[in-house]
Chains A and B, each alone.
Chain A
Amino acid sequence: MGRDVIYKQYQKVQGIVRLWFDQLKQDKNLVVFLIFLVISTGFWFLNALRKEYTATLSYPVKFVDLPENKMLPEDFRGRIEVKVKAVGFVILRYQLSNAFLPLTFSVSEMQSLKTASGEEGVFTITSTEKNKIAGQLSQGMELIDISPDTLFVPLAEKGNARVPVKILADIGFQKQYLQAGEIMVQPDSVTISGPKSIVDTIRFIQTRKIDLQGLSDTVTTNVPLVIPPRVKSSVKKVTATIPVEPFTEINLKIPLRIYGLPDSLRIKTFPSSIQVSFRVGISKYGTIDESHFSAVIDASPVLRSDRPERLKVRLDKAPINIESLSFSPIFVEYLLEKKN
């Protein structure tokens, strides 16, 4: 509905403009009048530029020679307004050519200041910098006034830290394949710098999410780091290597170790061992055996008046480089005997 109204209005305006041009083509006197109007306006403009004017120019400010342990707050945007007197040509040319060149101040030449709230910084009375600012202006420009009269520059404490890189990944494998160890990251840590108050809170730098599915071989990929705002990192990307290999399933029989019983009692569990099953990459096949596992039972509950019918098995030792670890049974029955 709204679109139809706009379109109708557009067609109406287009009609009026077309009618006006048609009339202009037919009226020669009007054309001659317009040409001379343009020429005379040009001459008037050139004449006007020869006159002297006062103008206020707004300059960005750049600070150099900062102490090594200090930095400008990220959101700090200093500007200086300079009132100048010059002929129109100079002002126009300066605005066209130098509008974006900042005025430069050396922090080491400014005076230190600490506010009541503990904020540290430096300041300078801009009028004392008049000659310096005038030097940065174009020839033919007379500096009349500078605003603000005092330029305060807050300085934040700069912090550096070496933090580990943490990989964020969503990885899937083809059937019969698994990840053969930790993802290798190069470099595994980065140096970050920025406001100390922020750097001190950063414990690691995370990568952008790696999304790789259906892997059946080792993959190496470059992944960008997610660097927090106002913080700089020594590197922007890291190389992540995801080791992939086919796996095999292994079953092992692990004897149960029992504790928590007084010497006067003997306990027999059924079964007396458990079966652990797990997956392991073929490169590690043969390196894992029964000695890498330990299965225990705390038999002390049998001393209670409400002794349980079954005791729970706990796997208290297992290698870290295996997958899909499970064991059976989880509970075992037992016979309790008194020793003679």
Chain B
Amino acid sequence: MLKVGVTGGIGSGKTTICKIFESLGIPVYYADLEARRLIQEHPVLVEGYRKLFGEKAFEYGKLNRSHVAKMIFHDPELILKVNALVHPVVREDFFQWSRRQNAPYVIEEAAVLLEGGGNHLLDKIILVSAPENVRIARVVRRDGMSEEQVLKRMKYQWNDDKKRLFCNFEITADDNHLVVPQVLKIHFELLQIWDC
């Protein structure tokens, strides 16, 4: 079974691309969603968050997001520590999850995949790319964030040029190119690789 990573900046359209893979019968692990679950369930992460953000990190057993966000706002370096804490646990969870799947390949979808060095543990990486202005417009519309907030988030992610160096495939999701044919092409290529 191949392990394929799908990555791309915020608002690039990763989730839509993964939904197409899912409809082709490919299991997809949504790392960001699973990370949210693990932060509240996994003992290593719960303990790690308490150390980083204090006792207020959890309220009534749930992550105190506003407290965490405030602390990160005042100390942006904390985000690197959070990544270093969360990524290995999520990766391990992904491997456990993939062992339970029965498909030629599985996908891990993550916004920050290459930044944490996760690409070394995956067989292939797909980059979902879109121009920055398109991505900003999507996130502003989708999450109701301001343009400044989106740009701030982008700052912590690699740009597409840097990501491209580590990726095997690229899907352009700029609203002009059709994405389904691009996904089908990659899907059949991955099936061929798996066959070999």
On whether the beta carbons of A249 and B144 are closer than 8 Å, the reply is yes
Q: Is A95 an interface residue (CB 8 A)?
A: no
Interface size on B, residues (CB 8 A): 13
Closest residue on chain A to residue B180 by CB atoms: A333
Bound complex: CA A213 to CA B19 (Å): 48
On whether the beta carbons of A268 and B142 are closer than 8 Å, the reply is no
Residues of B within 8 A of A329 (CB): 175
Q: Is A54 an interface residue (CB 8 A)?
A: no
Q: Is B179 an interface residue (CB 8 A)?
A: yes
Q: Is B141 an interface residue (CB 8 A)?
A: yes
Known: A270-B19, A270-B20, A335-B20. A275 touches B179 (CB 8 A): no
Q: Is A251 an interface residue (CB 8 A)?
A: yes
Q: Is A162 an interface residue (CB 8 A)?
A: no
Interface residues of A (CB under 8 A from B): 249, 251, 268, 270-272, 275, 277, 309-310, 328-329, 333-335
Tell me the interface secondary structure of chain A in the complex: strand
Q: Is B64 an interface residue (CB 8 A)?
A: no
Residues of A within 8 A of B19 (CB): 270-272
On whether the beta carbons of B178 and A309 are closer than 8 Å, the reply is yes
On whether the beta carbons of B16 and A271 are closer than 8 Å, the reply is yes
**Chain A's nearest CB lies how many Å from the CB of B59?**
25
Residues of B within 8 A of A268 (CB): 23
On whether the beta carbons of A335 and B144 are closer than 8 Å, the reply is no
Closest residue on chain B to residue A326 by CB atoms: B141
**Chain B's nearest CB lies how many Å from the CB of A299?**
15
On whether the beta carbons of B178 and A270 are closer than 8 Å, the reply is no
A-B pairs with beta carbons under 8 A, tally: 31
Known: A329-B175, A335-B23. A270 touches B180 (CB 8 A): yes
On whether the beta carbons of A251 and B142 are closer than 8 Å, the reply is yes
On whether the beta carbons of A275 and B142 are closer than 8 Å, the reply is yes
On whether the beta carbons of A333 and B179 are closer than 8 Å, the reply is yes
**Chain B's nearest CB lies how many Å from the CB of A270?**
5
Residues of A within 8 A of B142 (CB): 251, 275
Closest residue on chain B to residue A250 by CB atoms: B144
Bound complex: CA A251 to CA B144 (Å): 7
Bound complex: CA A310 to CA B19 (Å): 16
Known: A270-B179, A309-B178. A275 touches B20 (CB 8 A): no
On whether the beta carbons of A270 and B144 are closer than 8 Å, the reply is no
Bound complex: CA A121 to CA B185 (Å): 89
Bound complex: CA A248 to CA B141 (Å): 14
Can you give 13 contacting A-B residue pairs, CB < 8 Å?
A: A251-B141, A251-B142, A268-B23, A270-B19, A271-B16, A275-B141, A275-B142, A277-B141, A309-B178, A328-B138, A329-B175, A334-B180, A335-B23
Residues of B within 8 A of A328 (CB): 138, 141
On whether the beta carbons of A310 and B141 are closer than 8 Å, the reply is no
Residues of B within 8 A of A334 (CB): 180
Residues of A within 8 A of B20 (CB): 270, 333, 335
**Chain B's nearest CB lies how many Å from the CB of A7?**
70
10 smallest beta-carbon distances between A and B, as pairs: A333-B180, A268-B23, A271-B16, A270-B20, A270-B16, A309-B178, A251-B144, A335-B23, A270-B19, A333-B178
With A249-B144, A333-B178 known, 10 other A-B pairs at CB within 8 A are: A251-B141, A251-B142, A251-B144, A270-B19, A270-B20, A309-B178, A310-B178, A335-B20, A335-B23, A335-B180
**Chain A's nearest CB lies how many Å from the CB of B24?**
8
Residues of A within 8 A of B175 (CB): 329
**Chain A's nearest CB lies how many Å from the CB of B126?**
15
**Chain A's nearest CB lies how many Å from the CB of B20?**
5
Residues of A within 8 A of B180 (CB): 270, 333-335
Bound complex: CA A272 to CA B15 (Å): 11
Closest residue on chain A to residue B138 by CB atoms: A328
Residues of B within 8 A of A277 (CB): 141
Bound complex: CA A268 to CA B23 (Å): 8
Closest residue on chain A to residue B17 by CB atoms: A270
